[in-house]
Chains A and B, each alone.
Chain A
Amino acid sequence: MDFVNFLIQLLNSVQYGLLLFMLAAGLTLIFGIMGVVNLAHGSFYMLGAYLAWSLAALTGSFTLAIIFGTLLSVLFGLFLEWLLFRHFYKRDHLDQVLLTFGLIYVFEEMRSILWGDDVHGVTIPEVLSASIPLTETLSYPVYRLFMSGVCLALALGLYLLISKTRLGMKIRAGAFNHEMTEALGVNIKLIHALVFALGVGLATIAGMVAAPVSSVYPNMGSPVLIMCFVVVVIGGIGSVKGALIAALLVGLVDTFGKVLLPQVSGMLVYVLMAIVLLYKPEGLFKN
Chain B
Amino acid sequence: MTNSPSRRLVLTRSAALVGAAGSGLLLPEWAQAQSGKIRVGLMLPYSGAFAPLGVAIENGVRMAINEQGGKLGGREIEWFKVDDESEPSKGIENANKLVQRDKVDVLIGTVHSGVQMGIQKVARDSGVLTLIPNAGVHAATRALCAPNVFRTSFSNSQPTLALGQAMVAKGHKKAVWITWKYAAGDEAYEGFKESYTKAGGTIVKELGLPFPNVEFQALLTEIAALKPDAVACFFAGPSGAKFMKDFAAAGLKGKIALYGSGFLTEGVLGAAGPAADGVMTTLHYSDSLDTPRNKGFRLEYAKAFKMQPDVYAVQGYDTGLLLVQGANAVKGDLTKKPELYKAMEGAVIDSPRGKWTMSKSHNPVQDIYLRVAEKGENKVIGVAAKALADPGTGCRMG
Segment at the interface with B among A25-33, A60-68, A258-266, A271-279: A258-266
Given contacts A137-B255, A138-B221, A141-B249, contact A119 B238 (CB under 8 A): yes
B272 within 8 A of partner (CB): yes
Q: Are A266 and B181 in contact (CB under 8 A)?
A: yes
Segment at the interface with B among A4-12, A151-159, A196-204: A4-12
A199 to B218, CA, bound (A): 29
Q: A143 → chain B, closest Cβ, in Å?
A: 7
A143 to B213, CA, bound (A): 20
Given contacts A119-B237, A135-B224, A213-B245, contact A16 B271 (CB under 8 A): no
A207 to B33, CA, bound (A): 55
A131 to B245, CA, bound (A): 13
Q: Are B227 and A137 in contact (CB under 8 A)?
A: yes
Interface residues of B in 55-107 (CB under 8 A from A): none
A228 to B208, CA, bound (A): 23
B182's closest neighbor in chain A, by CB? A266
Q: Are A258 and B271 in contact (CB under 8 A)?
A: no
B211's closest neighbor in chain A, by CB? A266
> Per-residue CB proximity of B156-182 to A under 8 Å, as 1/0?
000000000000000000000000010
Interface residues of B in 253-279 (CB under 8 A from A): 255-256, 267-268, 270-273
Q: Are A215 and B49 in contact (CB under 8 A)?
A: no
Given contacts A215-B241, A223-B212, contact A133 B217 (CB under 8 A): no
Q: Which of A9, A137, A143, A220 contacts B249 (CB 8 A)?
A: A143
B246 within 8 A of partner (CB): yes
Q: Which of B209, B218, B227, B237 contacts A217 (CB 8 A)?
A: B237
A168 to B241, CA, bound (A): 41
Listed residue (A9, A136, A143, A258) with the most chain B CB atoms within 10 angstroms of its CB? A258
Q: Are A9 and B241 in contact (CB under 8 A)?
A: no
Q: A16 → chain B, closest Cβ, in Å?
A: 6
Q: B323 → chain A, closest Cβ, in Å?
A: 27
B48 within 8 A of partner (CB): yes
> Per-residue CB proximity of A205-225 to B under 8 Å, as 1/0?
000000001111111100100
Q: B239 → chain A, closest Cβ, in Å?
A: 8
Q: Are A133 and B249 in contact (CB under 8 A)?
A: no
A216 to B238, CA, bound (A): 8
Q: Are A139 and B225 in contact (CB under 8 A)?
A: no
Q: Are A216 and B271 in contact (CB under 8 A)?
A: yes
Q: Which of A5, A138, A219 contacts B252 (CB 8 A)?
A: A138
Given contacts A135-B225, A137-B256, A138-B251, contact A266 B217 (CB under 8 A): no
Q: A125 → chain B, closest Cβ, in Å?
A: 14
A212's closest neighbor in chain B, by CB? B245
A139 to B255, CA, bound (A): 11
Q: How large is the interface on A (under 10, 10 to 19, 20 to 34, 35 or more residues)?
A: 35 or more
A111 within 8 A of partner (CB): no
Q: Are B217 and A16 in contact (CB under 8 A)?
A: yes
A70 to B270, CA, bound (A): 26
Q: Are A9 and B270 in contact (CB under 8 A)?
A: no
Chain B residues closer than 8 Å to A149, beta-carbon distance: none
Chain B residues closer than 8 Å to A1, beta-carbon distance: 225
A137 to B255, CA, bound (A): 7
Q: Are B250 and A5 in contact (CB under 8 A)?
A: no
Chain A residues closer than 8 Å to B221, beta-carbon distance: 5, 8-9, 12, 138, 259
Chain B residues closer than 8 Å to A15, beta-carbon distance: 217
A2's closest neighbor in chain B, by CB? B225
Chain B residues closer than 8 Å to A9, beta-carbon distance: 218, 221
A241 within 8 A of partner (CB): no
Q: B203 → chain A, closest Cβ, in Å?
A: 14
Q: Are A138 and B250 in contact (CB under 8 A)?
A: yes
Chain B residues closer than 8 Å to A182, beta-carbon distance: none
Q: A218 → chain B, closest Cβ, in Å?
A: 6
> Per-residue CB proximity of A242-273 to B under 8 Å, as 1/0?
00000000000011101100110111000000
Interface residues of A in 113-146 (CB under 8 A from B): 117-121, 123, 131, 133, 135-141, 143-144
A12's closest neighbor in chain B, by CB? B217
> Per-residue CB proximity of A157-201 to B under 8 Å, as 1/0?
000000000000000000000000000000000000000000000
Interface residues of B in 268-296 (CB under 8 A from A): 268, 270-273
A262 to B251, CA, bound (A): 23
A182 to B209, CA, bound (A): 50
B47's closest neighbor in chain A, by CB? A108
Q: A210 → chain B, closest Cβ, in Å?
A: 10
Q: A83 → chain B, closest Cβ, in Å?
A: 25
Listed residue (A135, A215, A267) with the most chain B CB atoms within 10 angstroms of its CB? A215
A108 to B135, CA, bound (A): 25
B51 within 8 A of partner (CB): yes
B214 within 8 A of partner (CB): yes
Q: Are A138 and B224 in contact (CB under 8 A)?
A: yes
A sample of 15 inter-chain contacts (CB < 8 A) reads A16-B215, A117-B51, A119-B271, A121-B241, A121-B245, A137-B256, A215-B241, A215-B242, A217-B238, A218-B49, A223-B214, A254-B218, A259-B221, A266-B209, A266-B211
Given contacts A137-B252, A140-B250, A262-B207, 8 further A-B contacts (CB under 8 A): A12-B217, A15-B217, A137-B256, A139-B251, A140-B251, A214-B238, A215-B241, A217-B238
Residues of B near any A CB (own CB < 8 A): 48-49, 51-52, 181, 207-215, 217-222, 224-225, 227, 237-238, 241-242, 245-246, 249-252, 255-256, 267-268, 270-273
Residues of A near any B CB (own CB < 8 A): 1-2, 5, 8-9, 12-13, 15-16, 117-121, 123, 131, 133, 135-141, 143-144, 213-220, 223, 254-256, 258-259, 262-263, 265-267
The 9 tightest CB contacts between A and B, nearest first, are A266-B210, A139-B251, A138-B224, A121-B271, A217-B238, A141-B249, A137-B224, A255-B218, A119-B271
